Copies of this chain bind each other. A is one copy, B any other.
């Protein structure tokens, strides 16, 4: 099937490769329109499904995205910077500022949806927060949007026995946020662990974050510890990988 002699790549791969090179060489910049199905059919003399397969490769790689009825376009990558350590130093959350204020540069990151409820702890949460028999947790779910686009959602779990009656169980936790309130309750977080992994989004995640094909999510699970190693919060975050760069600074 190879039309150019000993080239053993399938047709769709050769078409995808040539488009990829054109993108990486700068021939097509972010936001530019790429040759569509009909262009590739005419240019390479292939069937429509083959042209679609070639474009599918680029979409799966996160290099391009298609808009039905409009065309195929080069994607752009302009991430936020999330600092994992200084953000949580006491000067930050002790002074009335949200810990997220360090994340935003000139663009504004805002909370889109908040829901607070008291629930039974999921199994993996129960295992980490050593809860009493049948003890429930306070669950805080939030979604963050940047320039109209959702970029992250986060779910926090806190033991009811710790936070009952405080502003943590309200939608607005007040100045300094959850960690300032925990400090007032005598459970000042002194140590954090963040665990990070990445995978492709589930259907729900892709929908909630408005993620296009070929974009992974980053999962961060943060555990906050008070004195004597008492875990007081688990925060599971799901980030649009195309919107974030994480940064961790530390000394040897």
Give the CA-CA distance A192 to B85 in the complex, in Å.
12
Chain B residues whose C-beta falls within 8 Å of the C-beta of A214 in the assembled complex: 200
A193 touches B248 (CB 8 A): yes
B199–A250 touching, CB < 8 Å? no
Listed in ascending order, the chain A residues whose CB lies under 8 Å from chain B are: 17, 20, 49, 60-62, 77, 79, 84-85, 88-90, 188-203, 213-216, 218, 241-242, 244-252
Q: Are B88 and A192 in contact (CB under 8 A)?
A: no
Option from B17, B191, B218 in Cβ contact (under 8 Å) with A250:
B191
Contact B241 A202 (CB under 8 A): no
Distance between Cα atoms of A195 and B85 in the complex (Å)? 12
Closest to A85 in B: B250
Q: Are B198 and A247 within 8 A (Cβ)? A: no
> Within the assembled complex, what's the spacing in Å between the Cα atoms of A216 and B198?
7
> Which of B20, B79, B191, B245 is in CB contact (< 8 Å) with A252?
B191
Give chain B nearest CB distance to A219 CB in angstroms. Answer: 9
The contact sample of 12 A-B pairs, CB cut-off 8 A, is A20-B203, A60-B200, A60-B213, A85-B248, A88-B252, A192-B249, A192-B250, A196-B245, A197-B244, A198-B216, A199-B215, A216-B216
Given contacts A191-B250, A193-B249, A250-B191, A200 and B90 within 8 Å (CB-CB)? no
